[in-house]
Each structure stands twice: as C-alpha cells, then as structure tokens.
C-alpha cells in the first residue's frame, strides 16, 4: 500500500525512518520537489517528482516489447537465431562501434519481430532504453506520430536519472498529432540526453528498438522517411545511442535509409541471406512436434519419419510457414497424419512453388 506524506513535521521531535520508505508509485504520483533535509539528527527525505500526469498525457502507444498486443508475433524457439542474437548483443554493448544503427530486414514471416523481441529480453539490465513494435492491426501501435512520445515515456522509466527532465519536457510539450516529429524527438529526447551528457547513462550504450516499420499506417507522405532520418540523426548526435530497426525491405524504407547523410553509421543485415535459417526452422519444427508426441496421442513422427525434413523443405526459409503448419498439425492429434499428407499433396508442395506461393497455398489448405 502506498504511504501518505505526513501533513506536518516537527523539528523538535525525531522523525521515524519509516516515513522515508515510500512505495514506487509515490515517485510517480507526487508533484512536489525532491528535498533532503536534516531534522533532529535524522534525514527526512521528502520524495517529490514531476507529475506522472505530464508523462501520461504524451501521445504514446502500448507498443513496448512487453506488451501483450505483440505477444503473438514475438515467439522465438529456444536455440534458434542464436548467431544473429549473439551478433546483436555484441553490437549493442560495443560503445566504440561506428555502426550505431542496425537494420535487420527480410520479407514477412522470416522472424524479424521474434528476433527483435528476443533481443530486447536478452539485453543486460540498463541497456534497453525503449522499444516500439509497430502492429498493423492496432490503431495506436501503427501510428508513426506516437513513436517518439512513446520512446520518451519508456526512457523516463528505464533511466530514472532522466525522469525529472523528461517529465518537465512532457509538461511543456503540446500533445497531439500537430507536433512535428523533429520537435518531438528533440524536446523530449535529444535535448535531454545532450544536456545531461552520457554521465546519466550507467551502461556503455543505450538501445532503442523499432520493429515492423513497414506496418506503420502513415505510409503516405513523409512520416516514415522522417522518422528513420531522425533516428539516424539521433544516433549520430548521441555517441552512446544504438538503434535496431527491423523491417521488410520496402522500397520507400530502403530509399530513406540509403539517402540519409548518416548512412555511414548504418549496418544492414538481410535475413534472406542467412546460411543457417533452415537449421533453425528444422530445430523449431522438431522441437514442436516432439513436444506434441511427448504429450501423448500424437503419432505423426512415428507414422511419417521424414516429416521434420519435409516440413523444413516446404517452409522455404519462412518461419511463418513453419509455425502455421505446426499449429495446424497440432490442432488435432488424431488427424495429424491426414493433415500432413494434405500439406504434401497441396499445390504449394510442388517444386516450382516458392516462398509466399507456398504460404498462400498453406492458408488455402487450412481453410
């Protein structure tokens, strides 16, 4: 339960240390100024922070990697994508790297969001400043205008030393869509990081993660290109900043990144060129099907010994195909063999069919 501030204090009486133990929620709800003073030999700390209401008023979205909204698109099988995650972790912790922007791109279904989500959860404490996962099906999580206010809001929570300054900036910041993105990032984030200096950051780097840029609803106009340019500029101006951007290789997105005057700080990684993707998909399928077998009644691997290899082949590098097929197979353990045979007999299983043609055929088969 949150403790209430005492209405008055007396300098002639000792102050109980119990009064200095405040619930964290008080740090957000209090509207007074932080003061520490000595009263009759005891230190009375009156904890007062900029109002949480100022931060809550920001035009933000529930788009962090911990949001339940993005749970479905963020599943990653343990043991898969280890090479990429290792490389990302090394990049994120390298305070001297000249490549401050890491662009991870690939077609839909290649596991970009899963990798970005796992990366967020694996970062050591203090490294992750904020994350924004675009989600096409969510009005707020597909709104590009909300990216920088959301990052500022999360930054106030992940880096406590920045909280008073961000809250103060948020109070002055005019809410709504009429705020230019450049004004948002400068007043709510960059000016604060620049003025306080890197001494406010307790780790060698501070990481922002922006996933699913292609799912931003503001495709017309300059919203997405402006956002990408501003993220690149931010990383250029703040040496400790690292930004992971995960997206489909849409032309307008790649053009915005390639035309940036800060393109020399960008590292690009194409998931389609990963050598071990089939191994990861094979591991995912095998783990899922063996888990189903261990639960009892699921006899697909006994009846069709080559099922894992065949399903890996049909996936054609697409995690989304593999995960959809596995869910379909596990839906009814008594019909698993029949469903598997249907998949192999479908048009999508033909050698001439590739990638997304197979994915379309998979959906048709399921329906």
**Exposure string (b/e) for 245-262, b if CB count within 10 Å is 16 or more?**
bbbbeeeebbebbeebeb
Domain final position from 240, 273, 306: 273
pLDDT for res 195 = 84
Does 100 lie in the same domain as 215? yes
Number of folded domains in the chain?
3
If one counts every other C-beta atom within 10 angstroms of the C-beta of residue 144, the result is: 21
If one counts every other C-beta atom within 10 angstroms of the C-beta of residue 283, the result is: 19
Residue 30's domain spans which residues? 1-49
Does residue 178 carry a pLDDT above 70? Answer: no
pLDDT for res 335 = 93
Does 295 lie in the same domain as 198? no
pLDDT-derived band at 333 (thresholds 50, 70, 90) equals: very high
Question: pLDDT tens for residues 147-160?
Answer: 999 999 999 999 98
Does 261 lie in the same domain as 137? yes
Does 141 lie in the same domain as 282? no
Task: For residue 45, list its beta bridge partners.
Answer: 36
Domain final position from 246, 273, 300: 273
Does 198 lie in the same domain as 154? yes
- Selection from 82, 50, 123, 143 nearest residue 283 by Cα: 82
Question: pLDDT tens for residues 191-240?
Answer: 999 887 666 788 999 999 999 999 999 877 789 999 999 999 999 999 99
Q: Are 300 and 307 in contact (CB under 8 A)?
A: yes
Does residue 38 carry a pLDDT above 60? Answer: no
Convert the chain into a string of H (helix), E (strand) and C (coil). CCCCCCCCCCCCCCCCHHHHCCCHHHHHHCCCCCEEEEECCEEEEECCCCCHHHHHCCCCCCCCCCCHHHHHHCCCCCCCCHHHHHHHHHHHHCCCCCCCEEEEECCCCCCHHHHHHHHHHHCCCCCEEEEEECCCCCCCCCCHHHHHHHHHHHHHHHCHHHHHHHHHHHHHCCCCCCCCHHHHHHHHHHHHHHHHCHHHCCCCCEEEEEECHHHCCCCCCCHHHHHHHHHHHHHHHCCCEEEEEEECCCHHHHHHHHCCCCHHHEEEEEHHHCCCHHHHHHHHHHHHHHHHHHCCCCCHHHHCCCHHHHHHHHHCCCHHHHHHHHHHHHCCHHHHHHHHHHHHHCHHHCCCCCHHHHHHHHHHHHC
Does 114 lie in the same domain as 252? yes
Q: Which residue has the higher pLDDT, 246 or 37?
A: 246
Does residue 71 carry a pLDDT above 90? Answer: no
If one counts every other C-beta atom within 10 angstroms of the C-beta of residue 120, the result is: 21
Q: Are 76 and 319 in contact (CB under 8 A)?
A: no
Q: Are 103 and 263 in contact (CB under 8 A)?
A: no
pLDDT for res 363 = 62
Domain final position from 273, 302, 337: 273
Does 154 lie in the same domain as 79? yes
Does 307 lie in the same domain as 240? no
pLDDT-derived band at 366 (thresholds 50, 70, 90) equals: low
Q: Which long-range contacts (CB under 8 A, 24 or more apart) does 34-38 make?
A: 34/164
Task: Give the separation between CA 250 and CA 246, rounded to whole angstroms.
Answer: 12
Tell me the average pLDDT across 173-187: 79
Does 147 lie in the same domain as 177? yes
Q: Are 76 and 118 in contact (CB under 8 A)?
A: yes
Does residue 13 carry a pLDDT above 80? Answer: no
pLDDT for res 51 = 54
Does 156 lie in the same domain as 253? yes
Token pair listed for 349: 């299983």
pLDDT for res 49 = 42
Q: Are 285 and 326 in contact (CB under 8 A)?
A: yes
- Selection from 130, 135, 175, 172 nearest residue 153 by Cα: 130
Does 327 lie in the same domain as 234? no
Q: What is the CATH number of the domain that holds 86?
A: 3.40.50.300
Q: Which residue has the higher pLDDT, 16 or 141?
A: 141
Does 118 lie in the same domain as 248? yes
pTM of the predicted model as reported, rounded to 2 decimal places: 0.80
Q: Are 102 and 269 in contact (CB under 8 A)?
A: yes
């Amino acid at each position: 339960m949150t403790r209430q501030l005492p209405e008055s204090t007396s300098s002639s009486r000792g102050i109980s240390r119990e009064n200095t133990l405040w619930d964290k929620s008080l740090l957000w709800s209090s509207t007074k100024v932080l003061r520490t003073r000595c009263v009759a030999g005891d230190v009375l700390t009156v904890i007062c922070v900029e109002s949480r209401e100022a931060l809550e008023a920001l035009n933000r979205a529930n788009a962090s990697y911990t949001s339940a909204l993005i749970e479905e698109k963020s599943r990653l099988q343990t043991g898969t994508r280890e090479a990429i995650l290792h490389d990302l972790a090394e990049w994120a912790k390298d305070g001297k790297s000249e490549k401050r922007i890491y662009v991870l791109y690939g077609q839909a279904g290649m596991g970009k969001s899963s990798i970005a989500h796992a990366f967020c959860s694996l970062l050591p404490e203090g490294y992750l400043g904020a994350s924004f996962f675009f989600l096409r099906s969510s009005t707020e999580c597909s709104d590009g205008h909300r990216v920088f206010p959301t990052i500022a809001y999360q930054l106030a929570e992940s880096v406590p030393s920045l909280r008073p300054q961000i809250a103060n900036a948020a109070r002055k910041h005019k809410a709504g869509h009429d705020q230019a993105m450049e004004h948002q990032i400068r007043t709510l984030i960059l000016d604060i990081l620049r003025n306080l200096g890197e001494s406010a950051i307790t780790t060698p780097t501070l990481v922002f993660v922006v996933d699913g840029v292609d799912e931003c609803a503001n495709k017309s106009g300059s919203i997405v290109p402006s956002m990408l340019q501003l993220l690149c500029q931010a990383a250029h101006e703040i040496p400790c900043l690292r930004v992971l951007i995960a997206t489909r290789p849409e032309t307008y997105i790649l053009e915005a990144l390639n035309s940036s005057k800060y393109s020399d700080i960008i590292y690009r990684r194409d998931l389609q060129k990963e050598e071990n993707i089939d191994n990861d998909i094979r591991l995912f399928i095998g783990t899922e099907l063996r888990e189903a077998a261990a639960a009892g009644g699921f006899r697909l691997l006994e009846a069709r010994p080559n099922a894992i290899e065949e399903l890996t082949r049909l996936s054609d590098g697409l995690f989304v195909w593999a995960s959809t097929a596995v869910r379909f197979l596990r839906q009814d353990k008594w019909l698993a063999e029949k469903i598997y045979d249907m998949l192999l007999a479908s048009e999508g299983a033909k050698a001439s069919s590739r990638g997304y043609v197979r994915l379309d055929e998979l959906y048709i088969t399921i329906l």
